[in-house]
Amino acid sequence: MDGICCDRCGKGLLLDEDVRYQVHIIVQAAYDPMEITREDLQKTSSSTWKALLDRLENLTEKEAQDQVHRELQFDLCPPCQKLYLEMPLPGLSESR
């Protein structure tokens, strides 16, 4: 993440490689806030709100934030970039 070392293999990027790659991953909750209407909010019972708040209370601020939006940034050397593109998600091959 510092641009000096490959985040996958730890190889120095500036000295050993001409090219480095940046991977920027955004993981965000895929709901549209506009879909929540005033009616929906009124329909939500107080026990539902309480259950929701109880659940949030058990999370750290970071955990709660991660559930909605998370950004990750990595630097990769060329061999690791090639490997990463072959399998961006573990267990999911590129050819679906």
* Chain positions contacting Zn ion, by CB under 5 A: 6, 8-9, 11, 77, 80
Residue 12 CA to its chain's centroid (Å)? 25
Closest distance of CB 93 from Zn ion, Å: 20
Closest distance of CB 26 from Zn ion, Å: 22
In the complex with Zn ion, which residue's Cβ is closer, 4 or 52? 4
In the complex with Zn ion, which residue's Cβ is closer, 70 or 82? 82
Residue 32 is which amino acid? D
Closest distance of CB 89 from Zn ion, Å: 18
DSSP E strands: which ranges in 1-96? 21-28, 69-76
> How many Å apart are CA 44 and CA 42, to the nearest integer?
5
In the block, residue with structure tokens 């940046």: 22
In the complex with Zn ion, which residue's Cβ is closer, 6 or 47? 6
